[in-house]
Structure 1
Amino acid sequence: MRVDSSVSDIYPCLIYDNAQSAIDWLCQAFGFTCRFVVPGENEEIIHSELSLGSSVVMLSSPKKQFNWVCPHQAGGLPMMLSLYVADPDAHYKQALAAGAEIIQPLQDEEYGARGYMVKDPQGHMWYFGNYRPGQYWQ
């Protein structure tokens, strides 16, 4: 079987207390495009998909039957997402203008990339930079 390595097969699913406000904020602050939203009852989001370039993340409201909660409710940070952006400097300025909480300012990394780390309003951690896995060590 031949695998198309230009297409990602990992699609993170993030949980937000207020998924609709998160969708709006992620689009404004980070430049995501909202591709698809499945609304539920009481302003819940059952499923949504956002894209940034060729990357896709999915968002939903908490689901009690699965014990899904936001990072701030879990008492810590279970993971961070790293996304490629062609122009980290411009992306950083956009995030700053939207009021993003910068955890690590824009910098040149030891391994050759340039990027920054940020936390969104509901506690998810993001790294945006011009790094793609394998590009500096192949």
Structure 2
Amino acid sequence: MSQDTPCSDIYPCLIYADAQSAINWLCEAFGFTCRFVVPGESGEVIHSELSLGSTVIMLSSPKAEFNWISSQTAGGLSMMLSLYVADPDSHFQRAVAAGAEVIRELQDEEYGARGYMVKDPQGHMWYFGNYRPGQYWS
């Protein structure tokens, strides 16, 4: 499967107060590739797509017409993204070096996987590990 062919039918869309800064940071810290960005007239991000392996996420600036606000503005979290990475140890080192806030250190999970939890600079929570749903249960 090529990077241009996502294997999922769910594509999270994240709202960032400073979407362009978030795109740059996510690429540096987590290894995402920016597929494309649709800029707005005032410098906002209308739409963007980033990929990491076969995972695709979308992100944009807040949109008042849909009442979309960033997690920073909301003052809390309502979700966390969980992504598969083949080498959680090196991915953790990269994220920490880029300034990710460690919420839970890299560890072996009770169910056999290995992973860690971090927050990005604009308050979104991420879990990266070598876990795929259904991998450890039947």
Q: TM-score, normalised by structure 2?
A: 0.94
Aligned length: 133
1:7 counterpart residue number = 7
Cα deviation code 1:61-114 (max 9, x no counterpart): 000011111111112101000000000000000001101101000000111110
- Return the letter of the residue paired with 1:13: C
* Structure 1 unaligned regions, length at least 5: 1-5
Q: TM-score, normalised by structure 1?
A: 0.94
RMSD value, Cα: 0.9
Q: Distance in 1 between matches of 2:60 and 2:72?
A: 15
1:77 counterpart residue number = 77
How far residue 7 of structure 1 moved from its aligned partner, in angstroms, is 1.8
Counterparts of residues 58-77 of structure 1 (less than 5 Å)? 58-77=58-77
1:16 aligns to 2:16 (yes or no)? yes
Q: Which 4+ runs in 1 deviate beyond 2 A?
A: none
2:35 counterpart residue number = 35
How far residue 42 of structure 1 moved from its aligned partner, in angstroms, is 1.4
* Structure 2 unaligned regions, length at least 5: 1-5
- Return the letter of the residue paired with 1:71: S
SS at match of 1:92: helix
What percentage of aligned pairs have identical amino acids? 79
SS at match of 2:82: strand
